[in-house]
Amino acid sequence: MAIVELTSGRKFEARDDESLLDAAARSGVSLSYSCKTGRCSSCKCKLLRGETGLLQPEVGLTADEQADGWILGCVRFAVNDIVLEAEDICGFSLPEEKILPCRISEIVLVAPDVVRVLLRFPPNSTFHFFPGQYVNVIGSGGVRRSYSLANADFKNKTLELHIRNVEGGAMSRYWFGQAKVNDLLRICGPLGTFFVRKFNGLDLVFLATGTGIAPVKSILESIHNLPQIEKPRSVHVFWGARTVSDLYLNFMDVVKEYQYTPVLSRSDNRWKGAVGYVQNVFLQNESSDLRNTVVYACGSDRMIHDAKKALEESGLEAKNFHSDAFVSSTDIN
């Protein structure tokens, strides 16, 4: 056993056959994560002392990040005692992960390559999640794919998913060619740490691309009904898409009193709104400093990496940037 010490002061034991992320979870320590396959960088942490080894390829880091001592906790194990600089999500006990049966109650094409799916669960089902988390849907042959939850709670025994068509994807072939109402599926979750931490009195900024708007919808719906004293000082949502047809939500119904800026990357002369990339549009419109701002970014991996770099260079503290990168899926058995 090796001892892992965090800069927060917390410690836990880690075996050489488990990832740092799994070792932390086994000891009741919650660290940030998303894909758990070494492809996104949500679990990025800095190795300050000691030695780690690789369990899987670590493709979610740049060469410069690796040279600077950054590692991904989901694919690294402790060779000896180590010290890590990592986000310790103190004060949050992550909801229990479970597998539940469900049936499709609705499937609707809402954009040229996006379907909105409602899953219904047995009346006696219980499922707790933090708005912003995701689930794995288990399909035929045990194939699993990850989808963010778009609704804020489980009161109606339903979960809402926004699913994009991925060319050649096994589950995409199902969702866009075979799926029908009453199909029996299973979900595993909730998963991930893309949820808001402390936010009352702060300026929240959401950067989303494509179906990355789904967890943002979930979070905003959960915030809307809070007492005013518990709400953020301000909320601004930037949703990036290619064309107008990709903006598949009437988002003004979701953001309600908050600010919303749709951004197109492939606009024509008829589009009078913002053009470009969400992070650039945000920075162009930001008139104050970023010391009171917390950013939550969800969508393409490239957007998240570019946004993090640009925002930190503009003064945003690294600890105030949270992300959930939508990376290409592989089978999880």
Is there a single domain that holds both residue 175 and residue 273? no
Domain boundary among 51, 85, 119: 85
Q: What is the pLDDT of residue 45?
A: 92
Is there a single domain that holds both residue 140 and residue 162? yes
Q: What is the pLDDT of residue 253?
A: 80
Q: What is the pLDDT of residue 330?
A: 42
Q: Would the CA dihedral through 210, 214, 219, 225 be positive or negative?
A: positive
Domain boundary among 56, 85, 114: 85
Is there a single domain that holds both residue 126 and residue 216? no
Is there a single domain that holds both residue 181 and residue 113? yes
Residue 4 vs residue 170, higher pLDDT: 4
Is there a single domain that holds both residue 46 and residue 11? yes
Six-digit token pair at 166?
């991925």
Q: What is the pLDDT of residue 332?
A: 38
In the predicted model, is pLDDT for residue 47 greater than 50?
yes
> For residues 1 and 78, what is the distance between their CA atoms, to the nearest angstrom?
9
Give the DSSP per-residue string, 33-78.
-SSSSSSS-TTEEEEEES-EEESS--TTS-HHHHHTTEEETTTEEE
Is there a single domain that holds both residue 144 and residue 244? no
Q: Which residues pair with 12 in a beta bridge?
A: 4
Q: For residue 228, is it within any domain? A: yes
**What average pLDDT score do residues 205-225 get?**
93
Tell me the C-alpha to C-alpha distance, in Å, between residue 165 and each of 181, 208, 212, 223.
18, 17, 14, 30
> For residues 115 and 128, what is the distance between their CA atoms, to the nearest angstrom?
24
Is there a single domain that holds both residue 157 and residue 66? no
* Number of structural domains in the chain: 3
* 286 band by pLDDT with thresholds 50, 70 and 90: low
Q: Residue 279: which CATH number?
A: 3.40.50.80
Q: For residue 127, is it within any domain? A: yes
Q: For residue 227, is it within any domain? A: yes
> For residues 239 and 262, what is the distance between their CA atoms, to the nearest angstrom?
5
CA neighbor of 8 nearest in space, from 27, 25, 26, 29: 29
Q: For residue 198, is it within any domain? A: no
Q: Residue 108: which CATH number?
A: 2.40.30.10
Q: What is the pLDDT of residue 183?
A: 96
Is there a single domain that holds both residue 79 and residue 115? no
**What average pLDDT score do residues 283-301 get?**
85
Q: For residue 90, is it within any domain? A: no
* 218 band by pLDDT with thresholds 50, 70 and 90: very high
Q: What is the pLDDT of residue 189?
A: 96
Q: What is the pLDDT of residue 216?
A: 96
User: 39 is in which domain, residue-wise?
Assistant: 2-85
Q: What is the pLDDT of residues 141-158, one digit of tens each?
A: 888 999 999 999 999 999
Q: For residue 320, is it within any domain? A: yes
Is there a single domain that holds both residue 212 and residue 295? yes
Q: What is the pLDDT of residue 328?
A: 58
- For the chain, give the mean pLDDT: 90
Is there a single domain that holds both residue 177 and residue 222? no
Q: What is the pLDDT of residue 76?
A: 96
Q: Residue 52: which CATH number?
A: 3.10.20.30
Residue 280 vs residue 199, higher pLDDT: 280
In the predicted model, is pLDDT for residue 287 greater than 80?
no
CA neighbor of 179 nearest in space, from 155, 152, 208, 147: 147
Lowest mean pLDDT across 120-129, 153-162, 290-299: 290-299
Is there a single domain that holds both residue 43 and residue 128? no
Is there a single domain that holds both residue 305 and residue 214? yes
